Amino acid sequence: MIAAPTTLWSDATNVLAVRLDTIGDVLMTTPAIRALKEARPGRRVTLLTSHSGAAVAALVPEIDDVMVYDAPWLKATPPRADSSRDHEMAELLRARALDSAIIFTTFSQSPLPAALLCYLADIPLRLAHCRENPYQLLTTRVAEREPELGIRHEVERQLDLVAAVGCCASDRRLSVRVPPDDRARVRTLLGSVGVDRDESWFVVHPGATAASRRYPPELFAEAIRQVVAQTGASVLITGDASEVELATRVSASVNGRARVLAGALSLGELAALIAEAPVLLTNNTGPAHIAAAVGTAVVDLYALTNPQHTPWMVPSRVLSHDVPCRNCFRSVCPEQHHQCLRGVRPDEVAAAVCELLAGPPAPGLAIDPELSLNC
């Protein structure tokens, strides 16, 4: 690591946290953001993130302000005609008189475009994991050691980054604060759809942004049928507006025993629903990390595209089918067979849901100190 003096970092009070990815990525960065806040009383943290990340950032109490930036070096950003938005963002950052920036990335992402943006905004301290020599773009570089020397959980990776400048978190759990109004609306909604919160019920979120992370809807339906047959549990199916058809298709296959809430909930209400639920059944997608943040047990149908995004410090069952092409780090199955998910039998899924519904749940993720450098 090549570093500016730690005393300079300890004096920073107006910090920019750059996390340009989606809901789950932002949530898995919240323990590191908490560490930044705890290291210096009165420190202010502004999050620079995508539109998707900004939606969940509003639920994170450690984040003081949010700036939305759909960076041109991320695949989800549509092409644009010129660089005017990027110049504008550099000026907006400069106007905030930020004294430091921490650039959070996965190991497959280069921090250098964001580092250049922060350099152009005259932010004096700039920290990131980096494989290349950044020269002046970073004042503090933590050498990139993944995947060559092993892969850490994403939470561990970001905690290690801020630990390099003396920031440690007393609480390593993910952070979400469910708005009281959203919780009240969801409790009313549960009553209106006939769900007794004291009886057996669970939430199913069958969608995912990446095609390689989606368990087939017909297998979701079969697993739900088996859980209902064994427990009599009520089922609520969630999703965003683009997933209404998927949720309806799954519901139609379970003989009317599931209610569809896809497209009907705000993100705050979804967080409230998951917080109320005994169990969430989902793919490896944002709601799995919302569940981890609110302490709800998760059955995670986990495509073996990458190993570092499992539910963090929460009771969970992570289900996948081993394949030779594991850890491909692809959003589209390169073999076109999706066997790391298709190979998971519905009866395995049903058994995992029933086990967590029966409670008390088993402990969540154990942290291996050998994989981490953080405090």
Sorted by sequence, the CB contacts under 8 Å of residue 110 that are 6+ apart come out as 73, 130, 131, 132
Check whether 330 has a pLDDT greater than 70.
Answer: no
In tens, the pLDDT along 295-325 reads 999 999 987 667 788 999 999 999 987 766 6
pLDDT in the model for residue 307: 78
The pLDDT of 273-288, averaged and rounded, is: 96
Check whether 373 has a pLDDT greater than 60.
Answer: no
Domain 180-358 architecture: 3-Layer(aba) Sandwich (3.40)
In tens, the pLDDT along 52-79 reads 999 999 999 999 999 999 999 988 888 8
Band of the pLDDT at 257, cuts 50, 70, 90? confident
CATH superfamily, with its number, for domain 6-163? Glycogen Phosphorylase B; (3.40.50.2000)
Q: Would you state the structure tokens that stand for residue 49, as one six-digit string?
A: 């993130």
pLDDT in the model for residue 45: 98
Which residue from 137, 56, 142 is spatially nearest to 107, judged by alpha carbons? 142
Helix (H, G, I), strand (E, B) or coil at 235: strand
Which residue from 278, 282, 276, 277 is spatially nearest to 299, judged by alpha carbons? 282
Which residue from 297, 329, 328, 301 is spatially nearest to 312, judged by alpha carbons? 297
Which residue from 94, 32, 40, 41 is spatially nearest to 60, judged by alpha carbons? 32
pLDDT in the model for residue 324: 66
Kindly report which listed range (109-123, 245-259, 269-283) carries the lowest average pLDDT score.
245-259
Preceding peptide of 361 cis, ω within 30°: no
CATH 3.40.50.2000 domain range(s) in the chain = 6-163, 180-358
Check whether 370 has a pLDDT greater than 70.
Answer: no
Which residue from 318, 326, 370 is spatially nearest to 149, judged by alpha carbons? 370
207, HSE (Cβ side, Cα atoms, 13 Å): 20
- Is residue 322 within 8 A of residue 307, CB to CB? The reply is no
CA distance 10 to 270: 37
Q: Would you state the structure tokens that stand for residue 146, as one six-digit string?
A: 């993944």
- Is residue 206 within 8 A of residue 243, CB to CB? The reply is yes
Check whether 368 has a pLDDT greater than 50.
Answer: no
pLDDT in the model for residue 364: 40
CA distance 65 to 284: 28
Percent of the chain with pLDDT strictly greater than 90: 77
pLDDT in the model for residue 77: 85
To the nearest whole number, what is the mean pLDDT of the chain? Answer: 90
The pTM is what? 0.91
pLDDT in the model for residue 320: 85
In tens, the pLDDT along 99-144 reads 999 999 999 999 999 999 999 999 999 999 999 999 999 999 999 9
Band of the pLDDT at 337, cuts 50, 70, 90? low
Check whether 210 has a pLDDT greater than 90.
Answer: no
- Is residue 349 within 8 A of residue 301, CB to CB? The reply is yes
CA-atom Rg of the chain in angstroms = 21
- Is residue 193 within 8 A of residue 44, CB to CB? The reply is no
